[in-house]
Amino acid sequence: MSELKKWIEQRGISEVECLIPDMNGVLRGKVLPAAKLVQAETDASLRLPSSVFAVTVTGEYADTDDEDEAYSDPDMVLHPNADTLRVAPGFKTPTAYVFADAHHSDGSPWASSPRQVLQQVMKLYAERGWKPIVAPELEFYLTALNPDPDLPLTPPTGRSGRAETSPQPYGLEAITEYEDLIETIYEYSEAAQLDVDTMIHESGTAQLEVNFLHGEPVRLSDQVLVFKRIVRQVALKHGVYATFMAKPMENQPGSAMHLHISMNSTASGVNLFADDAGADSQMFRHFVGGLQKYLPEISPLFAPNVNSFRRMRPSHSAPINVQWGYDNRSCGLRVPISDRENRRIENRLPGADANPYLAIAAALIAGYLGMEQQIEPSAQATGNAYHYARTLPKTLEEALERFNACEPVKELLGQYFFRAFTTIKQAELEAFQGVISSWERDHLLLKV
């Protein structure tokens, strides 16, 4: 506590945002005076209603009427993780943020917390002496302001005074159209100590991608959510929107959150995905086999919204199956060109809209089961993997049915989490299905 107090005083911090990621990866929590953060950790007085993990993306509560817990809504005890304390850039009042873990009053962790879910998966690996390493690649769009949700999104005006009208993949002139905004993103990211690396212009109009340096999964998930918040705030300051929707525009590519995953030995630090000769290890093959078998069954963890499945279309830079292959971006599972030390698998399935804790947990739990069950992968795909059969669900409705039937994953992640997560997703699906779209009014109103 003395170190925490010293850190706050040295930086002149007045307020601290205590961050709790909900099921959808939306940051919730409390803002409190900095001095109270120190006191709250001393006497465990920092609390939040447990219903924070029952909030849908529409802001409603998803609990059913017959659940006692929905009515009692007991408090969770929040324990700020001092290792995550960082300066929060862009505020007039000197502010810091810290991630907190939610616990019951008896000290046991709150099972429906996405951060806790990933931590539990990490414990499974630690028990085997394995250390997963991840590196996310996160895509997003800049758009013009869009106050009317009935109107489609459009590209923003760049510093040239014009908006992009055609694809500009990896275009340097195109990315400098938003130079001031990007510089501010890097400035804020540095202040928040985010491990961001390169940024490129992706295939869509005003679509950008940022790479994170590889690291520990929970810490990288924290960074992804902070980065999203920074990007949205910076965009608004520059008079545009930033969106991490999986498929924000009809005729543009979707936005992904590709996950590069490798596996080190906790004891030696050696990459276990390659053998001494530099070839794929048997562990690597089993990890891939687990991804192939289980990821299609638990897709709501990395494709959590109705919009997520609009991204997964052939020839739209998004996979439709779990074929794997070397240096083949049409596959859902790509093995990048690498030496022994950097052997890894790139999971190209998650969308940018995914909760990073749950998307990474999904990949790690699928790979874990593959290694435990010694699942052999299919033969590697050659050529265009879109020519292979689709194995991923086409809709959230289908995805939830398969998700609830996946007993091996349910057993490891826990019934409590599964029930809480599914209740939220079913509520969101029902809310969407009650909406009459502009397509229906356009084509059915005066014709049928």
Mean pLDDT over 421-445 rounds to 95
Mean pLDDT over 423-445 rounds to 95
Mean pLDDT over 42-62 rounds to 91
Alpha helices, DSSP H only, in 107-178? Answer: 114-127, 172-175
- In the numeric block, the tokens 């705030």 are attached to 233
Burial class from Cβ neighbours inside 10 Å (0-12, 13-18, 19+) for residue 422 reads middle
- What DSSP element (H or E) covers 137? strand 130-143
pLDDT for 42 = 77
Residues pairing with 257 in the sheet: 138
Confidence band for 71, pLDDT divided at 50, 70 and 90: low
Mean pLDDT over 111-138 rounds to 97
Alpha helices, DSSP H only, in 47-165? Answer: 68-72, 114-127
- In the numeric block, the tokens 């007993």 are attached to 407
Residue 260's closest CA among 334, 319, 326, 196?
334
For the chain, list the domains and their CATH numbers.
2-110 (3.10.20.70), 122-413 (3.30.590.10)
First to last CA, the chain: 69
Kindly give the pairing relationship between strand 241-243 and strand 130-143.
antiparallel
Mean pLDDT over 286-302 rounds to 98
The yes-or-no verdict on residue 361 having pLDDT over 80 is yes
pLDDT for 60 = 92
- Residue pLDDT, tens place only, 199-245: 999 999 999 999 999 999 999 999 999 999 999 999 999 999 999 99
pLDDT for 66 = 53
Residue 345's closest CA among 372, 368, 324?
324
Between helices 356-373 and 282-294, what is the axis angle to 10°? Answer: 120
pLDDT for 64 = 56
The yes-or-no verdict on residue 75 having pLDDT over 60 is yes
Mean pLDDT over 328-332 rounds to 95
- In the numeric block, the tokens 């969407």 are attached to 432
The mean predicted confidence, pLDDT, of the chain is: 94
pLDDT for 5 = 84
Per the CB < 8 A criterion, the answer to whether 360 and 221 are in contact is yes
Mean pLDDT over 320-332 rounds to 96
Mean pLDDT over 43-61 rounds to 91
Tokens of 382: 């050659």
Mean pLDDT over 256-281 rounds to 96
Helix (H, G, I), strand (E, B) or coil at 130: strand
Per the CB < 8 A criterion, the answer to whether 88 and 97 are in contact is yes
Greater confidence, 44 or 297? 297
- C-alpha distances (whole Å) from 286 to each of 293, 298, 299, 360, 379 are 10, 18, 20, 17, 13
pLDDT for 70 = 61
For residues 150-165, one letter each, b for 16 or more C-beta atoms within 10 angstroms of the residue's C-beta and e for the rest, the string is eeebebbebeeeeebe
Residue 18's closest CA among 38, 37, 1?
37
Confidence band for 72, pLDDT divided at 50, 70 and 90: confident
The yes-or-no verdict on residue 265 having pLDDT over 80 is yes
Tokens of 53: 């993990």
- Residue pLDDT, tens place only, 18-42: 999 999 999 999 999 998 888 887 7
Tokens of 446: 């005066």
The yes-or-no verdict on residue 324 having pLDDT over 90 is yes
Q: Which of 73-82, 212-221, 308-317 has maximum average pLDDT?
A: 212-221
The yes-or-no verdict on residue 69 having pLDDT over 70 is no
CA dihedral 424, 257, 321, 339 (to 10 degrees): -140
Per the CB < 8 A criterion, the answer to whether 128 and 140 are in contact is no
